[in-house]
């Protein structure tokens, strides 16, 4: 019964697809280009499953035959599930046709196809458990309220929620705020738009997992073992939805539904529950997702899903703006007897007495004590404040140190949120995350402007200066050990980052101090000490100790890794890198592109395309993923001559790194304003124009030895 329904749903979708593809060929011709924007894996699902890239309507038409071959009709569960996969591929074809001629078929609030860069961005939050899972909600809930409650229950757990069909209208009807930054992503109203989340799961396997396109068995193992997704499908579940659900089950994603007719449960895979209120618990259990619960005693919600929430000026009750008045955030190490645990003090007026819409000073000082606490951990803890404060619903934080800005929304204020609650949040989170080093913690929140000025200028700035001076002296030569980081192995099984003072992890989120703190907090965790006692070649940054460590932590997949070369045994990439650099043969230089940059580079490739050249824990000489901060490092491609090789960067990235990069260029080579010599998209996206620009500006790379 169930199997026949899947076959019939699959047949229906296949019929529609065949007609749509044939019509399109007739209308536009077989040579017409087809594909999705901002992906290097064109028709990602089909490519992942078969290894073939579809670029024209003619190829799409030919691919129908391959899809048909998956649609076997033996009366067995696996045939039914493969028909589910065939249904998914059909959905991808139908969706691809919507994008012909550069059309933008999806309008607010729907997203449709998601770019490769979004998947790369998801890497770190997924491995850290910050995003513990991905929910796919499909159809219309029995009532809008039940649907929205379900969405919010996942959002509060940090789960990324994607929506397909009637649930989107229901969410809008109740005024639910949606968007990628709130972890609620409406995909589209047609059932075929569900393919856009499947596409994310399959590309994750290619990007992070080093799965060979076409190796369907490894692909399915990857999604089953490593992509924590599940489906909630509301009744009526018709044959088409059932066929799509079969595809999800084949990928290892359980389907939970309130359908009660004509459905047979498949243990652990297809689960019927009459009550939508039970979906959350049942889904997490079925997918084996564990939620870290943080109970913070504040009058609004606290969840990682609110991290990206933006508070607009018109919605804000008060603002604290470090660029206008004195603001500061600071961690200080104290003696045990100087700290009273969980003491929270507010010095100055509460926000009730502030004019609505006004700007004020704010300082919060977190004093910590612990036997294992070290001043080196202060900046590591402090840097998390941005994330902690942003997780408060209705509160928004940007910047850091004495240059932050915080807004409290009208809604949060109305719910009772006050300055003292910053103390509560900071206390709880610091104790939670740093319990191995912080035994006691107290927080003082200053709103008195004179006190803020005093804290900023007399206490914090001297501390920051001291810390910066310490960071300056932290070089690869000055320390005795480096650290490994294998956090990304959850998605990229053989990837290892070697983190040194002058080379942070490629995700940009793990500095040497972070790795050191992580090692201290969790000695058996992702960051392990790597000694550096047996150098092989100091210029390359190769060491016997480092080789041994990467071999061990990659389970033998890697034998040699250098720290400073992009050509010889370069460090591997997992996929979540902030930037990618690749050699540009005409100028002897390298081009760098950052994840946010969607345009073309002089390599004739976009960021996504460059990024697809490497990843999955594999070494690819000539291409290397890295953090933004690494660009101004004296160790950047040191073996090939260093930062002098950089010939092109997107303008925005260039501006972000300019100050530090220019300083390094001055120090290393005596060059002034080096960034003026570097091309960007306003100068050239074509290698010949770029070389002309470099020649005109006398760029040093032109006279260096060729790299290959």
Residues making contact with ligand SF4 (CB under 6 A) = 124, 485-488, 497, 499, 505-507, 509-510, 574, 576
Q: Which is nearer to Ni ion, 501 or 617 (CB)?
A: 617
488 binds Ni ion (CB under 5 A): yes
Interacting stretch for Ni ion, rule CB under 5 A, among 6-14, 97-105, 272-280, 486-494? 486-494
Find which of ligand SF4, Ni ion, none residue 509 binds, CB within 5 to 8 Å per kind.
Answer: ligand SF4
Q: How far apart are CA 520 and CA 537, in angstroms?
A: 29
Q: Which is nearer to Ni ion, 242 or 510 (CB)?
A: 510
Q: CB neighbours (10 Å) of residue 260?
A: 11
Find which of ligand SF4, Ni ion, none residue 243 binds, CB within 5 to 8 Å per kind.
Answer: none
Q: How far is the CB of 574 from ligand SF4 (least distance, A)?
A: 5
590: which strand partners?
583, 646
Q: How far is the CB of 628 from ligand SF4 (least distance, A)?
A: 13
Please list, in sequence order, all residues whose beta carbon lies within 8 angstroms of the beta carbon of residue 538, skipping any fewer than 6 positions away.
none
Q: Which is nearer to ligand SF4, 174 or 509 (CB)?
A: 509
Q: Which is nearer to Ni ion, 249 or 327 (CB)?
A: 327
Q: How far is the CB of 529 from ligand SF4 (least distance, A)?
A: 15
Q: Which is nearer to ligand SF4, 43 or 127 (CB)?
A: 127
Place of tokens 């369907």: 216
207 binds Ni ion (CB under 5 A): no
Q: CB neighbours (10 Å) of residue 670?
A: 7
Q: How far is the CB of 453 from Ni ion (least distance, A)?
A: 5
* Nearest Cα to Cα of residue 47 among 163, 186, 207, 194: 207
Q: Which is nearer to ligand SF4, 168 or 576 (CB)?
A: 576
Q: Which is nearer to ligand SF4, 361 or 484 (CB)?
A: 484
Q: How far apart are CA 29 and CA 540, in angstroms?
A: 53
Q: Which is nearer to ligand SF4, 207 or 488 (CB)?
A: 488
Find which of Ni ion, ligand SF4, none residue 160 binds, CB within 5 to 8 Å per kind.
Answer: none
Q: Which is nearer to ligand SF4, 487 or 691 (CB)?
A: 487
Q: How far apart are CA 202 and CA 222, in angstroms?
A: 9
Q: How far apart are CA 208 and CA 200, in angstroms?
A: 11
Find which of ligand SF4, Ni ion, none residue 506 binds, CB within 5 to 8 Å per kind.
Answer: ligand SF4
Helix pair angle (77-98, 57-70), 10° resolution = 170
Q: How far is the CB of 494 from ligand SF4 (least distance, A)?
A: 11
Q: Which is nearer to ligand SF4, 495 or 638 (CB)?
A: 495
Q: How far is the CB of 465 from ligand SF4 (least distance, A)?
A: 28
Q: Which position among 197, 576, 657, 694 is part of the footprint of Ni ion (CB under 5 A)? A: 576
Reading the block at residue 478, the tokens are 């000055």
Q: How far is the CB of 357 from Ni ion (least distance, A)?
A: 23
Q: How far is the CB of 576 from Ni ion (least distance, A)?
A: 3
CA atoms within a 13 Å half-sphere pointing along the CA-CB vector of 383: 13
CB-CB contact of 624 with 611 (8 Å): no
For 641: left if phi > 0, alpha if psi spans -120 to 50, otherwise beta; the answer is left
Count of positions on this chain that bind Ni ion (CB under 5 A): 5
Q: How far is CA 620 from CA 121, 124, 128, 487, 558, in A?
A: 21, 22, 26, 21, 12
Interacting stretch for Ni ion, rule CB under 5 A, among 177-185, 426-434, 487-495, 594-602? 487-495
Find which of ligand SF4, Ni ion, none residue 330 binds, CB within 5 to 8 Å per kind.
Answer: none
Q: Which is nearer to ligand SF4, 395 or 571 (CB)?
A: 571
Greatest C-alpha distance within the chain: 81
126 binds Ni ion (CB under 5 A): no
CB-CB contact of 642 with 636 (8 Å): yes
Helix/strand/coil for 282: helix
Interacting stretch for Ni ion, rule CB under 5 A, among 41-49, 121-129, 219-227, 627-635? 121-129
State which residue has the least CB distance to ligand SF4: 505
Q: Which is nearer to Ni ion, 366 or 488 (CB)?
A: 488
124-133: string of b/e by CB count within 10 Å (b at 16+)? bbbbbbbbbb
Q: How far is the CB of 492 from Ni ion (least distance, A)?
A: 6
Q: How far is the CB of 574 from Ni ion (least distance, A)?
A: 3
Q: How far is the CB of 486 from ligand SF4 (least distance, A)?
A: 6
34 binds Ni ion (CB under 5 A): no
- State the sign of the Cα–Cα–Cα–Cα dihedral 441, 445, 450, 452: positive
Q: How far is CA 536 from CA 324, 550, 567, in A?
A: 52, 15, 17
Place of tokens 């807004």: 407
Find which of Ni ion, ligand SF4, none residue 497 binds, CB within 5 to 8 Å per kind.
Answer: ligand SF4
Find which of ligand SF4, Ni ion, none residue 182 binds, CB within 5 to 8 Å per kind.
Answer: none
233 binds Ni ion (CB under 5 A): no
- Chain positions 546 to 575 lying near Ni ion, rule: CB under 5 A, are 574
Please list, in sequence order, all residues whose beta carbon lies within 8 angstroms of the beta carbon of residue 703, skipping any fewer than 6 positions away.
none
Rg (CA), the chain: 27
Per DSSP, the residues of 568-592 read: SSPPPB-S--SEEEEEETTTTEEEE
Q: How far apart are CA 346 and CA 364, in angstroms?
A: 9
Q: How far is the CB of 499 from ligand SF4 (least distance, A)?
A: 6
Q: How far is the CB of 484 from ligand SF4 (least distance, A)?
A: 8
Q: How many residues does the chain have?
A: 708
Q: Which position among 116, 326, 402, 514 is part of the footprint of Ni ion (CB under 5 A)? A: 326
CB-CB contact of 90 with 14 (8 Å): yes
Helix pair angle (77-98, 195-207), 10° resolution = 100
Helix/strand/coil for 395: strand
Q: How far apart are CA 615 and CA 42, in angstroms?
A: 17
Find which of Ni ion, ligand SF4, none residue 510 binds, CB within 5 to 8 Å per kind.
Answer: ligand SF4
Find which of ligand SF4, Ni ion, none residue 326 binds, CB within 5 to 8 Å per kind.
Answer: Ni ion
Q: How far is the CB of 527 from ligand SF4 (least distance, A)?
A: 8
Q: Which is nearer to ligand SF4, 461 or 509 (CB)?
A: 509
Provide the total of helices (H) and of strands (E) in the chain, helices listed first: 22, 23
CA atoms within a 13 Å half-sphere pointing along the CA-CB vector of 420: 14
Helix/strand/coil for 634: coil
321 binds Ni ion (CB under 5 A): no
Q: Which is nearer to ligand SF4, 125 or 700 (CB)?
A: 125
123 binds Ni ion (CB under 5 A): yes
Please report, as ranges, the residues that interact with Ni ion according to CB under 5 A: 123, 326, 488, 574, 576
């Amino acid at each position: 019964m169930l199997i026949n329904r899947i076959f019939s749903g699959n047949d229906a979708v296949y019929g529609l697809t065949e007609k749509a593809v044939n019509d399109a060929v007739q209308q536009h011709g077989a040579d017409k280009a087809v594909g999705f924007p901002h992906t290097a894996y064109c028709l990602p699902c089909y490519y992942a499953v078969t290894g073939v890239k579809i670029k024209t309507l003619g190829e799409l038409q030919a691919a129908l035959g391959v899809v048909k071959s998956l649609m076997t009709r033996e009366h067995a569960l696996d045939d039914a599930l493969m028909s589910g996969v065939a249904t998914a591929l059909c959905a991808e074809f139908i969706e691809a046709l919507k994008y012909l001629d550069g059309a933008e078929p999806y309008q607010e609030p729907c997203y449709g196809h998601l770019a490769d860069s979004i998947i790369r961005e998801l890497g770190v939050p997924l491995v850290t458990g910050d995003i513990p899972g991905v929910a796919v909600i499909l159809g219309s809930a029995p009532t809008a309220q039940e649907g929205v409650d379900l969405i919010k229950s996942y959002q509060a757990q940090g789960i990324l929620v994607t929506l397909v069909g009637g649930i989107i209208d229901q969410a809008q009807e109740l005024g639910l705020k949606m968007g990628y930054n709130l972890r609620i992503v409406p995909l589209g109203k047609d059932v075929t738009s569900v393919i856009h989340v499947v596409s994310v799961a399959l590309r994750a396997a290619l990007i992070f997992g080093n799965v060979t396109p076409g190796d369907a068995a490894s692909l399915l193992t990857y999604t089953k073992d490593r992509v924590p997704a599940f489906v909630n499908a509301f009744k009526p579940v018709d044959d088409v939805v059932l066929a799509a659900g079969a595809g999800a089950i084949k990928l290892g994603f359980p389907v939970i539904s309130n359908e009660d007719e004509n459905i047979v449960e498949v243990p652990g895979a297809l689960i019927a529950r009459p009550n939508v209120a039970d979906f959350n618990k049942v889904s997490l259990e079925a997918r084996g997702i564990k939620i870290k619960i943080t109970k913070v005693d504040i009058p609004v919600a606290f969840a990682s899903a609110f991290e990206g929430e933006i508070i607009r000026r018109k919605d804000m009750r008060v603002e604290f703006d470090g660029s206008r008045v004195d603001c500061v955030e600071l961690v200080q190490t104290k003696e045990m007897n100087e700290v009273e645990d969980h003491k929270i003090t507010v010095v100055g007026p509460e926000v009730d007495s502030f004019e609505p819409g006004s700007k004020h000073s704010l300082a919060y000082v977190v004093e910590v004590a612990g036997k294992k606490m070290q001043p080196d951990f202060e900046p590591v803890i402090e840097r998390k404040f941005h994330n902690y404060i942003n997780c408060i619903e209705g509160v928004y934080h940007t910047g850091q140190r004495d240059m932050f800005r915080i807004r409290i929304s009208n809604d949060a204020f109305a719910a009772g949120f006050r300055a003292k609650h910053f103390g509560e949040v900071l206390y709880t989170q610091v104790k939670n995350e740093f319990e191995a080093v912080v035994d006691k913690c107290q927080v003082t929140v200053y709103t008195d402007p004179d006190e803020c000025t005093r804290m900023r200028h007399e206490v914090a700035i001297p501390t920051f200066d001291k810390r910066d001076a310490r960071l300056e002296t932290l070089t690869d030569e000055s320390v005795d050990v480096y650290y490994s980081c294998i956090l990304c192995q959850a998605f990229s099984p053989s990837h290892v980052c070697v983190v040194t003072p002058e080379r942070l992890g490629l995700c940009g989120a793990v500095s040497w101090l972070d790795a050191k703190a992580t090692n201290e907090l969790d000695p058996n965790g992702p960051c392990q000490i790597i000694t550096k006692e047996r150098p092989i070649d100091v210029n390359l940054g190769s060491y016997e100790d480092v080789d041994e460590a990467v071999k061990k932590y990659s389970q033998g997949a890697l034998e040699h890794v250098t720290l400073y070369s992009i050509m010889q045994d370069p460090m591997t990439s997992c996929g979540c890198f902030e930037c990618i650099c690749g050699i540009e043969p005409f100028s002897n230089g390298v081009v760098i592109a950052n994840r946010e940059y969607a345009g073309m580079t002089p390599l004739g490739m976009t960021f996504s395309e460059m990024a697809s050249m490497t990843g999955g824990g594999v070494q690819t000489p000539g291409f290397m993923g890295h953090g933004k901060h690494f660009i101004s490092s004296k160790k950047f491609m040191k073996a090939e001559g260093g930062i002098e090789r950089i010939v092109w960067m997107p303008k925005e990235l260039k501006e972000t790194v300019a100050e530090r990069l220019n300083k390094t260029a001055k120090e290393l080579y005596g060059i002034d304003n080096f960034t003026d010599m570097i091309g960007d998209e306003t100068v050239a996206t074509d290698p010949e124009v770029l070389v002309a620009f470099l020649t005109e500006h006398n760029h040093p790379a032109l006279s260096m030895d060729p790299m290959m």
